[in-house]
Each structure stands twice: as structure tokens, then as C-alpha cells.
Amino acid sequence: MVESESVETIIPRILVTKIGLDGHDRGSRIIAAWLRDAGMEVIYTAPWQKISTVVKLVKEEDVDVIGLSSLATDHLLVPKLMDALREGGYQHVRVVVGGIVPDADEAILLDAGVSRVFHTGSAKEEVVQWVGKFAKEARKAPAVVTFE
């Protein structure tokens, strides 16, 4: 008989990606390494992902948190990603954005459902702590996924 794992013992699964046309990925590679070194399972993609591809990866990889990097204005696509996640039944998945995000744009992201925005210079400990917290929240939240 296999005992079910508690939320506390499940290794967080984090998708680190970039949507849109911004190809600057050094920061996202650093964040991916921080999260991996903290014991999280990281699924890392190359830049230039489509929103539909990100949603597909969430489904295939059983992702708890999506970490998006933006050094241009690609973070303005995130509200469309949030809509696509809700439409797919993945509203339990937490989304964080990191990079260069003006204050006015940060408000737009938070209103769309982003859990947190990390600005350039955020400390490793801060990022790891918050992403771990959001992963636990995602595991506790009910998924509303429908299968085709």
C-alpha cells in the first residue's frame, strides 16, 4: 500500500520561461539555478515561447509555479497567459514575473492574477522563499482541469 505524499513533501515543480520576443535569458537562467539548488524541480525553456505552449507545458509537467522573465515589454502579454490558464482549468498554478517591470505595469500584472513581481536585484533568499510558498499554495488549491 502506497501512502499519499503530503503537500510538504512534494518537490515543487517550477516552469521558468519567457513569452513574446524578448530573448534576454541570462536572468531566467540564474533564477532557474537558484530554484534548482534550493531543491525544486525546474523545467526551463528557451525564450520566445507562445502562450499556448506554456499552457501545454503546465499540463504536461504538472507545474506548480510559472516564473516569467521580462526585460522588455513582454510582461504585458501575461494577462493573456493568466486568461489562458483559467480557461484551461489551471487557475491553481501561481505565476511570478521577474525583471524590468514599471510600477504601472506591475499593478496590471497583479490585477490579472500574478502572485508577485520580482524586480532586478531581488535577493536569492527572497525569490526561493516566495516561490516555495506559492508552490505549496498551488498544491493545496483545487484544480479544475477538464480532459478532452
Query: In the chain, where are the structural domains located?
Result: 13-140
Has residue 144 got a pLDDT over 60? yes
Residues facing residue 70 across a β-bridge = 99
Q: Round to whole Å and give the CA distance between 39 and 56.
A: 24
Average pLDDT over residues 49-76: 96
Helix, strand, or coil (residue 79): helix
Per cent of the chain over pLDDT 90 is 84
- In this predicted structure, which of 7-16, 29-38, 131-140 has the lowest mean pLDDT? 7-16
Has residue 132 got a pLDDT over 90? yes
Superfamily of the domain at 13-140:
Cobalamin-binding domain (3.40.50.280)
- With cell 525544486, the residue in question is 40
How high is the pLDDT of residue 9? 76
Has residue 43 got a pLDDT over 70? yes
